[in-house]
Chain A
Amino acid sequence: MVAPDDKHWLVRPRTIRRLWVWFGTVLAGLVLADAFVHGHPSFGLDGTFGFYAWYGLATCMAMVIIAKVLGTLLKRPDTYYDDGND
């Protein structure tokens, strides 16, 4: 095991904070780029400002939640098939 003070630089809290800042900047930059880049929207909605950003975020959150709900019904211990007739 590794002592907490000589953790790999990538997993130090300071690096992780910086990564979040960079990530946030890139995300903001990409949304702002929509003001300057004009594609050829095909279905109306996809031409609105920042469409791909909110659509990606919203659909992904929806998928995680749907998976979570389905999981409560369908999850079983991973030894489920090991005992009995299988």
Chain B
Amino acid sequence: MTTATISLIPPGAWLALGALLLPLIGRRFRPTLILGLPLVTLWLVWTMPNGASPVLPVFDYQLVPVRSDALGRLFGIIFALMAFVGGLFALRQKSTVELMAAAVYAGSAICVALAGDLVTLFVFWEIMALASTTVLISSGGERAVQAGMRYFFVHVFGGSLLMAGIVVNLADTGSLAIDGLDAGTIGGGLILAGVLLNAAAPPLSAWLADAYPEASYSGMVTLSAFTTKAAVYVLIRAFPGTEILVAVGMFMIFYGIIYALLENDMRRILAYSIVNQVGFMVTGVGIGTEMALNGAATHAFTHIIYKALLLMSAGSVLYQTGKRKCTDLGGLFQSMPVTMLCGVIGALAISSFPLTSGFVSKSMISQAAVDEHLPLIWFLLMAASAGVFLHAGIKFPWFVFFQKDSGLRPPDPPWHMRAAMILFASLCVGLGIWPQPLYALLPNPVEYVPYTVPHVVNMLQLLLFSGLAFFLMLPLMKRSLTITLDVDWFYRKLVPWVATRSFGSVAAMYHRWETFGRQQIGEVFGFLVRHAGPHSVAAKTPDSSYMALVVVALLGVFLFLRFFVW
């Protein structure tokens, strides 16, 4: 926290607030806004000096809405870039709500990356949850709405863990600082749990593959980028070197591989592979050396690009064919060459092939394991690198674009979708060949040299032999029309089942009493209606002659009494 030279308004706010104009302007100006806002934001983040905004006193607390340093800017830059390319890809998206929510989502993610205190961070964290849910359910359809509600509840739970942690931490330490929290304290532990939930860590990893693939063809591209990577950002800031993260990350890596291997839906394969990739970053944060943290941060940066590329490729297939299952797809390389090529580049990048961006980022994490003399971690990371090629690098392109001929011959998607893919594909290759500009953005100085002859030969051996394993084991990987049970079974099947069983008898009892009560009330009202209702004696309108007769009779009685009794 040095000089206060930065505006109080976070750059992400321009993106988020500007997007609210989308429904108000004509369709002709929409592309300008969708593409212009992220570019302006990108420029604002890029040109930010190190420093912090003036302190904003709110009640008793000193908030720092904007704090800029290398790590925050790195994430801000990639988030803004992602918003631009995601917008370009989604230009034809009919749902204005999705486009608007996507921009608010990206904008608040940038605000999280530049937040200077835990309260500011929490506020934008929750806006992200709301906006991403909106992106999800705006794709329409019952499945999306149901998945959206499950997603929202999981994240509300995560948000409450985070908030409880912030409050406890504030009470214990009196500080709202994000940096260097202690996971061993109750406050720090709760914050860690809340953040890990957003990173799709166990035990609740299932929310990601449950929710994201129900988004629209463009919605999932946006969703893949922000929530998990904002969580990785907070982990790097707040919990570097927290040992448990190594185990958590390892679990995520292999969970992602195994579940992706079993999956049939092309976008669910990629969803599991997000968990896998975030696992590498979480492991890096757990190792916690400068090299490892650099690796985690670079890997988040390159991952956003190639994962969005893979999902744009899958999204293009979905957009053109309306199909999402590997069993229905295949042979598309013949009519969708651009989509296939971009998908393959994304697949090579996620597998860390030499000359792609994944190669220059992921290997920093395994190098950190070498430097720290962690043989078990290193051997597992190597197996995992091979496994990435297996479950995402070959499986996705193979089953979608090659394998059997599905007979489908859709053309490549419209120009702006191709442009978005080509842009990110070029970045995957560009950063792979020339990583220096990316290394220059990293928080710690980089002395790492990715391209040495042994490293390249070793990685090629590892990857190509895992490719051999794929084709040798192909009969075992025949796609079937199945899903794989996960922790979400507990809240999608078990809880409803228990609820209907146990609350079922309560409901039946309630129903009996309700019927009885209604009967009783009905009888009381029946009695009243019979005796005082519209057809009862009391409600009759007597005619005037009858009234005159009654009055005369009363008068007669009165006279009689007057003369003879008194």
Q: Chain A residues in contact with chain B, CB under 8 A?
A: 1-2, 7-8, 10-11, 23, 26-27, 30-31, 33-34, 37-40, 42-43, 45-46, 50-57, 59-61, 63-68, 70-71, 74-78, 80-81, 84-86
Contact = CB atoms under 8 A, between A and B. Distances in A.
A10 B472 contact: no
14 contacts: A2-B405, A30-B460, A37-B454, A38-B454, A53-B461, A57-B468, A57-B469, A60-B389, A63-B254, A63-B383, A75-B482, A77-B482, A77-B483, A86-B492
Given A1-B407, A64-B473, A86-B492, A76 B461 contact: no
Contacts of B466: 56-57, 59-60
B378 A42 contact: yes
A70 to B, nearest CB: 6
Contact of A78 (B257, B264, B458): B264
A74 B492 CA distance: 15
Nearest to B387: A63
A47 B382 CA distance: 14
Interface string B451-472: 0111101111111111111101
A43 B492 CA distance: 45
Given A31-B461, A85-B496, A64 B261 contact: yes
Given A37-B457, A50-B461, A55 B386 contact: yes
Interface of B: 146, 254, 257-258, 261-262, 264-265, 325, 331, 333-334, 370, 373, 375, 378-379, 382-383, 386-387, 389-390, 402, 405, 407, 452-455, 457-470, 472-473, 476-477, 480-486, 492-493, 496-497, 499-500
B386 A60 contact: yes
Given A55-B462, A75-B480, A66 B493 contact: no
A60 to B, nearest CB: 4
B298 to A, nearest CB: 21
Nearest to A44: B375
B483 A57 contact: no
Contact of A40 (B257, B454, B467, B470): B454
Given A27-B465, A31-B461, A63 B496 contact: no
Contacts of B457: 30, 33-34, 37, 39, 52
Contacts of A33: 457
A64 B480 contact: no
A45 B262 CA distance: 31
A86 B457 CA distance: 50
Consensus secondary structure, chain B interface: helix
Contacts of A52: 382, 457-459, 461-462, 465
A39 B460 CA distance: 14
Given A61-B473, A75-B262, 12 more contacts: A27-B468, A39-B455, A40-B454, A45-B379, A52-B382, A56-B461, A57-B469, A63-B261, A67-B258, A68-B476, A74-B484, A75-B483
B465 A78 contact: no
B465 A56 contact: yes
A60 B469 contact: yes
B41 to A, nearest CB: 38
Contacts of B325: 78
Nearest to B472: A61
Contacts of B258: 63, 66-67, 70
A54 B461 CA distance: 9
Nearest to B452: A39
Contacts of B407: 1-2
B469 A56 contact: yes
A84 B476 contact: no
A81 B262 contact: no
Contacts of B492: 81, 86
A10 B333 contact: yes
Given A60-B390, A61-B473, A85-B500, A78 B482 contact: yes
Contacts of B454: 37-40
Contacts of B453: 37
Contacts of A50: 461
A76 B482 contact: yes
Contacts of A67: 257-258, 261-262
**The 10 A-B residue pairs with the shortest CB-CB distance in the complex, in nearest-first order:** A39-B454, A60-B469, A85-B496, A52-B461, A59-B383, A56-B465, A67-B261, A56-B462, A60-B466, A56-B386
